[in-house]
């Protein structure tokens, strides 16, 4: 507790300090409560919106596929129609917008599907590879360099495979969108297999394996950094709010979904960003085991 000089120049008494300490503790609790309340409101908002929009999205999906196919046909060489430049531009625009609605619907359906994770063991590197592959077209188009710092270590995580893929896709997509041509996307995976000593304090892991003392304190840190435009303090405070977007064509659902999934996995998410320089998303997920060790025959049994 750092106190400045008192306005009446007298010293601080024991009671003053104890009084100030009480006020500080209560303020800290109040701040924490506000943060927790915000998180709960966000979750409730997401779950309500999710159910509502999933039904709506489901109804829109089929007619949209028909419209999209028709536009694609008009734009393709198979079309008998000899269309002029203006017409082609308009159809192109309509197709672009249809794709945008399609993306929105996919996100809304994901929101509606925010079911509890289906936990299973899988190789985290495979899921990251799949994500990079899916992002490849925009990576190539923007001439983005991938700085892969994952190393050879093969790690299995106990999590929901599809949901984690969604997390990497949403963060990766944002990173690419934030960068100009020639940016750099860095991926780092840092395992911490923990030790049984510290396991007592950590009791936040999936019930099924919570009894295994060797796995209790394990943790995986995944860092995804870009050299994009970065974010202001104000933006940073809002990015996990459903429907908050800084983009003309964004839906503002990507990071709300990410946050939801990470919380459901008892994980943590942290964002560091410097305007004009770039952004780093740090994810922490519990419960991993080493495949590399397993192959060497020294893995812990589970
Ligand atoms: N890596 C990043 N660099 C800079 N700004 C970012 C980054 N990631 C997120 N943001 C900011 O956070 C906002 C919210 O992101 P979020 O993914 O939730 O929505 P979105 O990208 O706008 O739309 P979508 O739902 O299509 O993903 C973005 O619009 C952008 O302003
Ligand atoms: Mg996004």
Q: Identify the structural domains of the chain with CATH numbers, from first to last.
A: 1-114 (no CATH), 120-295 (3.30.565.10)
Backbone conformation region of residue 247, classed left if phi is above 0, alpha if psi is from -120 to 50, else beta: beta
Instruction: Decide if 110 contacts 51 (C-beta within 8 A).
Output: no
Separation of CA 96 and ligand 1 centre (Å): 19
CA distances from 52 to 43, 254, 261 (A): 14, 18, 19
Separation of CA 166 and ligand 2 centre (Å): 11
Pocket around ligand 1: residues whose beta carbon is below 6 Å from it? 107, 170, 174-175, 178, 226, 228-231, 235, 239, 244-247, 250-256, 279
Separation of CA 12 and ligand 2 centre (Å): 52
Separation of CA 240 and ligand 1 centre (Å): 9
Residue 106, token pair as written in the block: 């996919």
Element (H, E) at 168: helix 161-178
pLDDT tens by residue, 209-266? 444 444 557 899 999 999 999 999 999 999 998 889 999 878 888 898 899 889 889 9
263: buried, middle or exposed (CB in 10 Å: 19+, 13-18, 0-12)? middle
The torsion angles phi and psi of 246, rounded to 5 degrees, stand at -105, 10
Q: How far apart are CA 199 and CA 195, in angstroms?
A: 7
Q: Name every residue whose Cβ is closer than 8 Å to that of residue 36 and which is 6 or more positions away in sequence.
A: none
Q: Name every residue whose Cβ is closer than 8 Å to that of residue 22 and which is 6 or more positions away in sequence.
A: none
> What's the pLDDT score for residue 302?
37
Listed as ranges, residues in the chain with pLDDT below 50 are 196-214, 294-302
User: Which residue is closest in CA terms to ligand 1's atom 30?
Assistant: 246
Residue 27, token pair as written in the block: 């303020």
> What's the pLDDT score for residue 202?
42
User: Which residue is closest in CA terms to ligand 1's atom 1?
Assistant: 175
């Amino acid at each position: 507790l750092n106190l400045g000089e008192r306005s009446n120049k007298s010293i601080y008494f024991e009671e003053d300090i104890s009084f100030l300490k009480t006020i500080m503790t209560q303020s800290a609790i109040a701040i924490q409560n506000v943060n927790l309340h915000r998180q709960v409101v966000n979750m409730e908002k997401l779950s309500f919106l999710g159910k509502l929009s999933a039904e709506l999205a489901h109804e829109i999906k089929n007619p949209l596929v028909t419209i999209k196919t028709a536009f694609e046909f008009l734009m393709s060489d198979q079309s008998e129609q000899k269309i002029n430049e203006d017409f082609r531009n308009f159809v192109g625009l309509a197709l672009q917008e249809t794709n945008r609605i399609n993306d929105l619907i996919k996100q809304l359906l994901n929101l509606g599907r925010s079911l509890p994770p289906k936990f299973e063991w899988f190789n985290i590197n495979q899921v990251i590879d799949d994500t990079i592959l899916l992002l490849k077209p925009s990576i190539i188009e923007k001439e983005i360099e991938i700085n892969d710092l994952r190393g050879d270590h093969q790690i299995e995580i106990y999590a929901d495979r599809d949901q984690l893929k969604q997390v990497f896709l949403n963060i990766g997509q944002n990173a690419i969108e934030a960068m100009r041509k020639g940016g750099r996307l860095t991926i780092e995976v840092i395992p911490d297999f923990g030790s049984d000593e510290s396991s007592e304090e950590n009791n936040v892991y999936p019930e099924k394996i919570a009894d295994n003392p060797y796995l209790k304190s394990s943790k995986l840190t995944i860092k995804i950094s870009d050299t994009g435009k970065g974010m202001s303090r104000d933006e940073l405070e809002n990015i996990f709010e459903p429907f908050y977007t800084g983009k003309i064509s964004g839906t503002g659902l990507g990071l709300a979904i990410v946050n939801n999934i990470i919380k459901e996995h008892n994980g943590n998410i942290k964002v560091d960003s410097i305007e004009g320089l770039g952004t780093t998303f740090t994810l922490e997920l519990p419960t991993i085991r080493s495949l590399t060790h397993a192959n060497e025959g020294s893995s812990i049994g589970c």
